[in-house]
Structure 1
Amino acid sequence: MTLEQVVLLLAAGALSGFLNVMSAGGSMITLPVLMFMGLDSTTANGSNRVGIVLQNITATWKYRSAGHRHLRLGLKLSVPAVAGALVGAWTATLVGDDLFRWILILVMVGSSILMLMPMPARRDTVQLDDSHLRWPVIVAMVVIGFYGGFIQVAVGILFIVLLYRVLGIDLVQVNILKVLVVLVYMIPALGIFVATGNVHWGFGLVLAVGSMAGAWIGAHMTLGPGGAVWIQRITLLIIAAIIVRLILE
């Protein structure tokens, strides 16, 4: 691994961790970077998850330290997500490079459309409890888990659609629950890639160092004044990045 690769991975990881915690879209940076460095799509997909696990550990710790503890609801939402993630990760190991690249392009297009949907009016923080666990939500978590296990790119958008639009909770709470649920389902998903030999630990761990730093900054900004406003601004920046990348491709 060259010095240039280390620097690029650290920078990409930091930006990815920041974006993932603040809103979504970090893997749209790190996954292509890993592929550009010569990894096949499956190994890049697996290696990318090392950083995702560690960045979500960092963000979860930061949120808990700040007094945000939605562990009970988060773990209950994670159960169906884990089931979906295991199937999704296993499916990803069977997909060839060419097909995966086309899927990645389609995912970027779909993600940009979802991001462009107008946000409802800003909501006040509500009390989170088990009343939010309804069958449509459980089914949606299975789907989100499958998607996260398969590709993970911009999975935060799906959380915004489900938790913000359907459950009616504010964007800060969405991100607090998101990092916990992603952490729980990503560990077994990563295990699938490890078991099938599709993780480059050198690239993955360097990427993770940057991701953890970015995640800490993102979690700090989410909890700070105007956190929800920053989330919306970051989302708009992600949309612009997606459009530019699609034009260049």
Structure 2
Amino acid sequence: MRRAFFLRPWSRLLIPVADMNSISPPTFVMLVGAAFTAGFVDAIAGGGGLITVPALTLAGLDPVSAIATNKLQGTFGAASAMRTYARAGHVEWRDVRLLALLAALGAIAGAMLVSHLPTNWLAAILPAALVVIAVYFALSPQISNIATRPRMGAKLFTLTVAPLIGCYDGLFGPGAGSFYMRGFVALLGYGLIKATAQTKVANFASNLAALATLMLTGHVYWTLGFAMGAAQFFGARLGAHAAIKNGAKLIRPMLVTICLLLAARLAWNQM
């Protein structure tokens, strides 16, 4: 049984185009478009996974494969954002290295958990989970760029909050970047720029760790994930340039509306 467990994912890695047999060309184009939109939205207001995860599920992927493939395409955007902030000198590597490592370990635990949960159970709770995260995005206040007094020590935050958010990122994912950022702001007192920069490193680490774990379970749709990743990369670049004054205020209602509509469609499919 153990040997078969490892043979299955590696055989799938060797034939990356086999996963496309069940996806029609129009659906493929729709998913690439959803990834582009998610990248654009995520660069301005965050929460791009609220679009891509339900879109992948509606396209016929089982919930675990949808989460795994979303990790592949989301890693592109996370890497691009991290590189941008690092080149601008906003990432404080000495402070974030251990945090990123523990976030990655949490993501591995979350990814292992989701890969062992019953598919029908995941399909049933996915719409409700999306609605909860969408409501969070709708009601959460804007983040200030003014640093405040920390409410928690950096070491305690690194040892507790970071792996918990990382675990959520591996288990489900949408909104994890926002959770990291609000943790940095509310608990460590960071301003917006510093919080965003550290968030990109932590988010990339947990994304990559979850992807590596789910890769070994054979749930990643490689061809689709790479195509969506490229689309998200360019969507994120466009979104970053479009992030003008009040941009997030205009994008956030659109993100919440799209997510709620997709969640309603998923719930309808379960009836």
Q: TM-score, normalised by structure 2?
A: 0.78
How do 1:41-52 and structure 2 match up within 5 A? 41-52=63-74
How do 1:55-134 and structure 2 match up within 5 A? 55-117=77-139, 119=141, 122-124=144-146, 133-134=154-155
Offset of residue 121 of structure 1: 7.2
- 1:164 corresponds in structure 2 to 185
Q: Deviations over 1:117-163 (max 9, x none)?
A: 4526733368xxxx961414531111100000111012123124312
Whether 2:159 is the aligned partner of 1:142: answer no
Distance in 2 (CA, whole Å) between partners of 1:219 and 1:89 is: 29
Match of 2:36, as an amino acid?
Answer: A
Bigger radius of gyration:
2
How do 1:170-249 and structure 2 match up within 5 A? 170-221=191-242, 226=245, 229-248=246-265, 249=267
Matched pairs, number = 242
After TM superposition, the structure 1 stretch with the greater mean CA deviation from structure 2, 65-74 or 186-195, is 65-74
Unaligned stretches of 5+ residues in structure 2: 1-19
- 1:199–1:120 CA distance, 2 compared to 1 (3 A): closer
Distance in 1 (CA, whole Å) between partners of 2:89 and 2:242 is: 15
- 1:73–1:232 CA distance, 2 compared to 1 (3 A): farther
Query: Are the aligned partners of 1:163 and 1:169 in contact in 2 as well (CA < 8 Å)?
Result: yes
Query: Are the aligned partners of 1:9 and 1:210 in contact in 2 as well (CA < 8 Å)?
Result: no
- 1:38 corresponds in structure 2 to 60
Query: Are the aligned partners of 2:130 and 2:259 in contact in 1 as well (CA < 8 Å)?
Result: yes
Offset of residue 44 of structure 1: 1.6
Match of 1:236, as an amino acid?
Answer: P
Distance in 2 (CA, whole Å) between partners of 1:233 and 1:70 is: 31
Q: Deviations over 1:76-108 (max 9, x none)?
A: 321221121110000010122221123322322
Distance in 2 (CA, whole Å) between partners of 1:5 and 1:189 is: 25
- 1:9 corresponds in structure 2 to 31
Q: Deviations over 1:5-26 (max 9, x none)?
A: 3322221111222233333221
Query: Are the aligned partners of 1:52 and 1:211 in contact in 2 as well (CA < 8 Å)?
Result: yes
- 1:216–1:143 CA distance, 2 compared to 1 (3 A): same
- 1:21 corresponds in structure 2 to 43
Match of 1:200, as an amino acid?
Answer: Y
Query: Are the aligned partners of 2:109 and 2:167 in contact in 1 as well (CA < 8 Å)?
Result: yes
After TM superposition, the structure 1 stretch with the greater mean CA deviation from structure 2, 164-173 or 136-145, is 164-173
RMSD: 2.7
Offset of residue 164 of structure 1: 2.5
SS at match of 1:180: helix
Q: Deviations over 1:194-234 (max 9, x none)?
A: 11111111111111111111222334455xx64xx433443
- 1:235–1:163 CA distance, 2 compared to 1 (3 A): farther
Offset of residue 57 of structure 1: 1.3
- 1:178–1:147 CA distance, 2 compared to 1 (3 A): same
SS at match of 2:180: helix
Distance in 2 (CA, whole Å) between partners of 1:76 and 1:214 is: 30
